[in-house]
């Protein structure tokens, strides 16, 4: 649907969140009137489920598949540079059943969205000379990290062998230029470096890509080193001819040194992810009757009972069956205060048990645990691409053939000038080797990989890498009140019953309905009833209206609880409560009206403290020139009290979810870039409509699905940190691109002018990629 809609030039962006059946369309109403858009939507939706005509097969041997689209994140082995990632993306995107593919060279992960099974995607990757690994579970993710460490060790050993072979080649070229034996020695020693262990992978990948009709960095290195070796063969029979054996070996050596330095830097970039993965223990204690067995976490099944001893980490998500202990859940909640756990309480994978012993029943294993979800979130972020990088990738893919053309021009130009073939050839090879499309390809993924890991260390999880680019240019931030600006620990402060029913009975009716709601105000009402030792009645026909209220039937009564605006829409007369309501609202209290059998029965007031650091955050945002607004379904009076405490100037009260969306759209129509900060299910539609969405605290699942950033420790001041991370990331990306473009723009003409030899060119090329990674690592500071 998104593809079909975006074919219209007037439609700028389409965001679909299937979890809440939400479709947000940004369009130009002058080019494409609203009425025309609605007609287009009717047409698209009417034909959305229809199968394509069978005749389409005559245009392609690949068929679009029926069935649900799926996003698959997996690990990739064998990539040697950013060009490998671009090549794999191109190959995957050629398949009609793949809608989107993004490969990250730094994290060695891929994200494919489409209709192919995981096994089919893996086959495409492996058929093109790379390895594909499943990383659904943390154990599999740990294995991928171990592969990376092993590859680093292999590269280091390979460099030592190359150095041992390179030394006699260099000495022979310096001191035995006219010796046939020494020339033969150079040829023998350089052959394994160029064509086997050192350069073998480069030639293999260059050949695979040539078969696919593409060219990349490996192509340039293979042509440069290979041609240097081949044109040196005649010198074995005539020592007066110029030989380039030492140059061919040096080219491969410098490339391998550069890639080794890249591997070292990459290991630092994925360090934060590795720390998260290592939170999960590799073994667990399984209880079967009275027997204890140590098993691998991969062998744990749902409903298995596990023993958690003092000081051990929790291996999977589950529920406490017995025992009492304090547990450190800081990796999930961000709170450094341990939680007391006893029977019935939830435990999360990676948490640290305190001094007690717990028996745990597994409820989520493998990829379904909270910790695995956090790591998966980071993988998705790192494999996503900023919009600026997509443009750069197009330019980078065209750079390689352009360099080959310039190399030919250089050779021809020097020959036409009357230069000897050996010198012209050396200059042409220098042009091939000095260019570095890999530096362009690394500019964005290197920066986003570091920043996403840095954010995770601060308990900020990024679900959408593109949000890094959008957040850096935000000029308006909208904040929800309850649970976002306030602590989210509401308590009943006042209760007024005006009906003929007893106070406790009326409260029982209210709590019996609110027990079915996930809203924090509902939980406060239930807790208040339980604090008075009141039992709850079963409720039927429960229905929730987001940001408005709830209704149900309890003990033969029709019950409604909600705000004033909703009850007025239901033709409920609440004027009898007016004076009390105004008085409580002016004190900053949130009001919940209770209606029994269509008559106003009671008024409940709740208080919630403003979050620590809120006023400092708002002041910081204003100093940055960012406008702040509060949107709430609460009354104007109670909302204004919180707004004054926070320092927010603009308050929109009595806002329904539809009105929140409309306000965001109005701001976007005026050219504003809007971020929405919320916490719960009522915020989900507004979060989906905003350019960037942030969820604070222990958010409801649907809200998390629509969020770009998740602040798990409920620290709202981290909104400023999100801004800092986004702006710094975009700044580093621009620096990387400036360096990469500037390097190529300066170095290529110098090489064409004959000022560089092939060895210096290959060294400069290798270091250019390393410099981009080194600059990105500054984000860790």
Give the pairing type, strands 692-696 and 709-711: parallel
The secondary element (H helix, E strand) that includes residue 463 is none
Determine contact, residues 521/490, Cβ cutoff 8 Å.
yes
The secondary element (H helix, E strand) that includes residue 243 is none
β-pair partners for 327: 339, 353
The C-alpha atoms of residue 365 and residue 349 are separated, in whole angstroms, by 9
Nearest one of 465, 443, 277, 470 to 381, comparing CA atoms:
465
User: SS3 sequence, 220-279?
Assistant: HHHHHHHHHHHCCHHHHCCCCCCCCHHHHHHHHHHHHHHHHHHHHHHHHHCHHHHHHHCC
480 is catalytic: yes
User: SS3 sequence, 115-183?
Assistant: CCCHHHHHHHHHHCCCEEEECCCHHHHHHHHHHHHHHHHHHHHHHHHHHHHHHHHHHHHHHCCCCHHHH
Spot the catalytic one: 349, 480, 708, 713: 480
Nearest one of 482, 486, 525, 520 to 507, comparing CA atoms:
525
CA 689, 707, 527, 715 dihedral sign is: negative
The C-alpha atoms of residue 444 and residue 211 are separated, in whole angstroms, by 28
Nearest one of 218, 217, 225 to 246, comparing CA atoms:
225
Nearest one of 630, 675, 635 to 651, comparing CA atoms:
630
- Contact partners, residue 242, CB within 8 Å, separation at least 6: 232, 235, 422
The secondary element (H helix, E strand) that includes residue 470 is helix 466-471
Tell me which residue has tokens 């950033």: 709
Q: What is the DSSP string of 333-354?
A: H---SPEEE-TT-EE-TT-EE-
Please give the backbone phi and psi of residue 674, each rounded to the nearest 5 degrees, phi first.
-110, 135
Tell me which residue has tokens 């539609």: 685
Determine contact, residues 164/158, Cβ cutoff 8 Å.
no
Helices (H), ranges, 176-244: 180-195, 200-211, 217-230
The C-alpha atoms of residue 308 and residue 288 are separated, in whole angstroms, by 14
Helices (H), ranges, 711-755: 718-752
The secondary element (H helix, E strand) that includes residue 100 is strand 98-104
**Catalytic annotation, residues:** 480
């Amino acid at each position: 649907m998104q593809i079909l809609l975006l074919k219209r030039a007037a439609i700028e962006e389409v965001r679909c969140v299937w979890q809440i059946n939400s479709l947000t369309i940004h369009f130009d109403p002058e080019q494409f009137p609203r009425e025309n858009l609605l007609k287009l939507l009717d047409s698209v939706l009417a034909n959305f489920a229809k199968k394509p005509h069978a005749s389409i097969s005559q245009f392609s041997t690949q068929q679009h598949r029926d069935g649900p689209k799926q996003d698959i994140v997996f690990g990739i082995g064998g990539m040697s540079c950013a060009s490998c990632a671009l090549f794999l993306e191109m190959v995957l995107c050629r398949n009609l059943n793949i809608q989107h593919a993004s490969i990250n060279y730094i994290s060695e992960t891929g994200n494919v969205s489409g209709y192919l099974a995981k096994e089919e995607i893996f086959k495409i990757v492996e058929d093109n000379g790379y390895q594909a690994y499943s990383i659904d579970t943390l154990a599999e993710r740990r294995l991928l990290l171990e592969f990376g460490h092993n590859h680093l060790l292999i590269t280091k050993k390979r460099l030592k062998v190359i150095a041992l072979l390179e030394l006699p080649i260099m000495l022979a070229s310096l001191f035995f230029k006219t010796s046939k034996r020494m020339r033969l020695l150079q040829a023998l020693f350089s052959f394994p470096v160029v064509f086997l262990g050192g350069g073998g992978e480069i030639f293999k990948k260059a050949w695979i890509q040539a078969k696919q009709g593409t060219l990349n960095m490996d192509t340039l290195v293979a042509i440069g080193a290979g041609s240097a070796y081949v044109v040196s063969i005649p010198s074995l029979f005539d020592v007066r001819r110029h030989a380039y054996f030492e140059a061919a070996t040096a080219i491969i050596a410098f490339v391998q040194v550069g890639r080794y330095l890249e591997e070292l830097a990459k290991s630092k970039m994925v360090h934060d992810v590795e720390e998260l993965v290592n939170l999960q223990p590799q073994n667990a204690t399984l209880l079967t009757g009275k027997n204890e067995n140590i098993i691998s976490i991969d062998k744990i099944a749902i409903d298995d009972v596990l023993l958690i001893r003092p000081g051990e980490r929790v291996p999977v998500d589950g529920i406490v069956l017995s025992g009492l202990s304090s547990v450190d859940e800081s990796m999930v909640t961000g709170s450094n205060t341990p939680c007391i756990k006893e029977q019935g309480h939830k435990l999360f994978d990676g948490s640290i048990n305190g001094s007690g012993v717990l028996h745990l029943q597994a409820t989520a294993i493998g990829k379904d645990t909270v910790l695995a979800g956090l790591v998966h979130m980071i993988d998705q972020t790192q494999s996503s691409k900023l919009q600026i990088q997509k443009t750069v990738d197009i330019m980078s893919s065209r750079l390689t053939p352009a360099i080959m053309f310039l190399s030919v021009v250089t050779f021809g130009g020097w020959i036409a000038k009357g230069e000897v073939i050996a010198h012209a050839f050396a200059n042409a090879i220098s042009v091939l080797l000095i260019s570095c499309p890999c530096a362009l390809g690394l500019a964005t993924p290197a920066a986003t990989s570091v920043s996403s890991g840095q954010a995770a260390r601060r308990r900020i999880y990024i679900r959408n890498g593109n949000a890094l680019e959008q957040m850096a240019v935000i000029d308006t931030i909208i904040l929800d009140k309850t649970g976002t600006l306030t602590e989210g620990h509401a308590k009943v402060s006042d209760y007024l019953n005006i009906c003929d029913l007893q106070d406790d009975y009326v409260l029982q009716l209210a709590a019996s309905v609110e027990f079915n709601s996930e809203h924090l105000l509902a939980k406060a009402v239930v807790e208040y009833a339980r604090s008075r030792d009141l039992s709850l009645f079963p409720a039927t026909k429960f229905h929730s209206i987001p940001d408005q209220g709830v209704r149900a039937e309890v003990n033969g009564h029709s019950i409604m609880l909600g705000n004033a605006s909703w009850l007025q829409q239901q033709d409920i007369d609440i004027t009898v409560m007016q004076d009390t309501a105004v008085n409580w609202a002016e004190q900053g209290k949130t009001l919940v009206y209770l209606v029994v059998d269509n008559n106003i029965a009671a008024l409940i007031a709740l208080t919630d403290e403003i979050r620590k650091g809120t006023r400092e955050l708002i002041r910081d945002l204003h100093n940055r020139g960012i406008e702040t607004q509060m949107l709430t379904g609460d009354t104007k009076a109670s909302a204004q009290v919180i707004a004054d405490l926070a320092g927010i100037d603009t308050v929109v009260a009595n806002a329904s979810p539809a009105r929140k969306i409309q306000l965001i759209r109005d701001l976007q129509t005026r050219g504003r870039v809007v971020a929405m900060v919320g916490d719960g299910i009522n915020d989900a539609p507004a979060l989906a409509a905003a350019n960037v969405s942030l969820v604070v605290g222990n958010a409801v699942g649907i809200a998390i699905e629509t969020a770009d950033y998740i602040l798990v420790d409920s620290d709202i001041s981290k909104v400023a940190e999100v801004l800092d991370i986004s702006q710094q990331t975009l700044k580093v990306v621009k620096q990387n691109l400036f360096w990469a473009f500037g390097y190529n723009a300066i170095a290529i003409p110098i090489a064409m002018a004959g000022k560089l030899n092939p060895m210096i060119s290959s060294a400069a090329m290798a270091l250019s990629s390393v410099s981009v990674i080194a600059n990105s690592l500054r984000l860790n500071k």
